Structure 1
Amino acid sequence: MTATDRTMLSKVPLVTLAFWVIKILATTVGETGADYLNFNLGFGLTATSLFTAAMLAGFLWLQLREDRYVAWLYWICVVFLSIVGTLITDNLSDNFGVSLYVTTALFAVALAGTFIAWHRAERTLSIHDITTPARERYYWLAILFTFALGTAAGDLISEQMGLGYTLTGVIIGGLIVLITIGYYAKVLGPVLAFWAAYVMTRPLGASMGDFLTQAPRDGGLGLSTMTISAVFLVIIVVLVAYLTISKIDVERDMAASLEQQPLGSS
């Protein structure tokens, strides 16, 4: 890594409780938001996919231009990655008839390949050192595959295996608890624990979204996708506003740098 490569401050937030809450809510919004555009507004799967992919491309372009973590922009990218990751799996399953067993395996291999390439190029997978453009690109690609993998695995367990949304949520929640215990017991390293939990929160949030919005005959509560998406988006906005003001999710050195900047500087 040359001196000019390391020109960015950290581009990702510290992992706090608020981080995981927003992540799960964003995951649920990805599930319910995609369904709302696809079914309620009648966009259809293809048009919904193209629209959200274009929105994601625009926000990621803005994100990659920044030289530091910006809370609202970072989390908008996560929300749209959640939606696009969901739609990639849905397109493969619904439009092309690819089995959920195959898509789960496919995205697991794609995620593993991303990590291998990332580590070979950068010698680290730590999210605390996303300080170069190359590392950030690997980071966002990995996140996209975690959403696609989580969607495929969650649908495989809840629908294809017939376990239902509630039991799937309980199983995934239990796995997250085990990952957390493994981390604090120092059985799992921080990098492995983080990415394992990141993958697992996707089917957890998706199961929660499906449980809330699917018809009672399908094991859900039948609530409106628009209502659930709106409520969860409001909560996300409030939490992101809190993080923006408090800066509790900003690296200490970065916070000091921001405080030293003249008023009005970017």
Structure 2
Amino acid sequence: MAYSIEKQTSNWVNKVPEVTIFFWLIKMMSTTVGETAADFLNVNLHFGLTHTSVVMAALLALALFFQIRTKHYVPSLYWISVVLISVFGTLLTDNLTDHFGVPLAVSTMMFAGLLLTTFGIWYTKEKTLSIHAIDSVKRELFYWIAILFTFALGTAAGDWVAEGLQLGYVNAAILFGALIAMTAVAHFRFKIDAVLCFWIAYILTRPLGASCGDLLSQPIANGGLGLGTTLTSSLFLITIVGLVGYLTMTEKKVTQ
């Protein structure tokens, strides 16, 4: 039977996990891994930016194929897709900067425009941007396109603020962390729309993660802590695997 992206089956359930502290922890670390892993493959393993981009595009396409084919939330599959799309989103910005000489300020505005366009089309078609309603293939495709642009936008914005505006990694991390805190206050204290606040926080965690990744991995002479991309990527990947393993076991207990 042909698999149509227009079909919404009755046994579909929401494909995105509940937004808990674990969600934000893994999301935050996946953004850091996206920043450091791209550098690791490009520089340390000498893949080069083009080959790294091709490899990650293939892996991401494979992961999303299986992610979209499943009809329920699978923690390991979902978070593998997030980590890979984080790396690929970073590479989109890096390619524009290094290969085409596009200024980070321009990349930031361009990806912001693409993300807003995606949200506009998504809302026009589906009348919701809620992640609690990712229950059809069409909605999930909109979701992953939006996620890709949030990572690319976050990378460009984070690098622009930290390097282009010369605020440094620490100040950039503090800035984006403060903006996330303000978003949380806006929602919990002033009851600003939950969907709007979620997407603002989701976008901001990317430059926060990028700034933290650079802070940990970059040499001390460049304003970092000098841990290197290998150690930084390994530490966060191990933590992500542990948390996803915990969520997988919890999910099995809930469904039994």
Give the 4+ runs in structure 1 shifted more than 4 A: none
Q: 2:118 is paired with a residue of what secondary structure?
A: helix
Aligned to 1:161: 165
Structure 1 residue corresponding to 2:66, chosen from 62, 67, 77: 62
Does residue 1:71 correspond to 2:75, yes or no?
Answer: yes
Within 5 Å, give how 1:59-208 maps onto structure 2.
59-208=63-212
Pairing 1:5–2:14 present:
no
CA contact (8 A) 2:7 2:137 kept: no
Q: Which runs of 5+ in 1 are unaligned?
A: 260-266
Partner of 1:226: 230
Deviations 1:123-148 (A, max 9, x none): 10010011010000000000000000
Q: How far did 1:4 drift?
A: 5.3
Q: Identity of counterpart residues, as a percentage?
A: 51
The residue type paired with residue 241 of structure 2 is V
The CA deviation at 1:101 is: 1.0
TM-score by length of 1: 0.91
Deviation at 1:247, TM superposition (A): 2.6
CA distance in 2, matches of 1:83, 1:153: 15
Which residue matches 1:264? none
C-alpha deviation, 1:187, in angstroms: 4.1
1:24 & 1:165 partners in 2: Cα distance? 16
Q: What is the CA-CA distance between 1:228 and the residue it aligns to?
A: 1.1
Separation in 1, partners of 2:110, 2:218: 27
SS in 2 for 1:247: helix
List gaps (5 residues or longer) in structure 2: 1-5
Partner-residue secondary structure (3-state), 1:196: helix
The Cα shift of 1:6 comes to: 4.0
Give secondary structure in 1 for the equivalent of 2:68: helix
* Aligned-partner Cα distance in 1 for 2:185–2:56: 36
Output the amino acid matched with 1:223. Answer: L
Q: Deviations over 1:97-151 (max 9, x none)?
A: 0011111000000000000000010010010011010000000000000000000
Please give the root-mean-square deviation of Cα atoms over the aligned residues, in Å.
1.5
Match of 1:263 in 2: none
Aligned length: 250
**Given that residues 219 and 228 in structure 2 are in contact (C-alpha distance below 8 angstroms), is that contact kept between their aligned partners in structure 1?**
no
